[in-house]
Amino acid sequence: MNKKIKGLLIIGFLALFFTSCNAQVCDSLPNKFDSYQVALKLINSSKFNLSEECNTSKSSWIKNAEFYSCDLNVGFLLIKTSKKTYIHSNVPLKIWSEFKKADSYGSFYASKIKGKYQLKLN
């Protein structure tokens, strides 16, 4: 293989590598966000050390619950309903673990999460 072809292959590989690695490093996520939409986009495009979902099919209004953590101590909790996604920040891993075991996700959410771990906006 001549030098010109090798050079083009290397340039192509580097271009592919740098354009495909656009994930946000979770440790660099801001403490405050400009909007819920920006927060959701950054959370969804980040690589976390812990990323889990909970099967909430027994709930009448919580359609999905996801937890994302960088440090395995606290993280983002996303609660999806048919109308919107609620984003909570600095939720302790212990609260997430208890949520997953709850008899009623809605009751647990109302008593242990709602109003306590609000996402901070600028």
Q: What pLDDT sits at residue 24? A: 60
Q: What pLDDT sits at residue 68? A: 97
Q: What pLDDT sits at residue 20? A: 39
- Has residue 86 been placed in a domain? yes
Integer angstrom CA distances of residue 53 from 12, 59, 67, 81, 119: 36, 14, 6, 14, 19
pLDDT band at 17 (very low <50, low <70, confident <90, very high): very low
Chain center to CA of 16? 25
- Has residue 91 been placed in a domain? yes
- Has residue 41 been placed in a domain? yes
If you average pLDDT over residues 55-65, what whole number do you get? 96
Q: What pLDDT sits at residue 9? A: 45
- Has residue 119 been placed in a domain? no
Does the structure show a pLDDT above 60 at 21?
Answer: no
- Has residue 118 been placed in a domain? no
- Has residue 15 been placed in a domain? no
Query: What's this model's pTM, rounded to 2 decimal places?
Result: 0.79
Structural domain that includes position 82 = 24-113
Q: How many angstroms separate the CA atoms of 21 and 112, rounded?
A: 37
- Has residue 99 been placed in a domain? yes
What is the domain count for the chain?
A: 1
Does the structure show a pLDDT above 50 at 50?
Answer: yes
pLDDT band at 2 (very low <50, low <70, confident <90, very high): low
- Has residue 34 been placed in a domain? yes
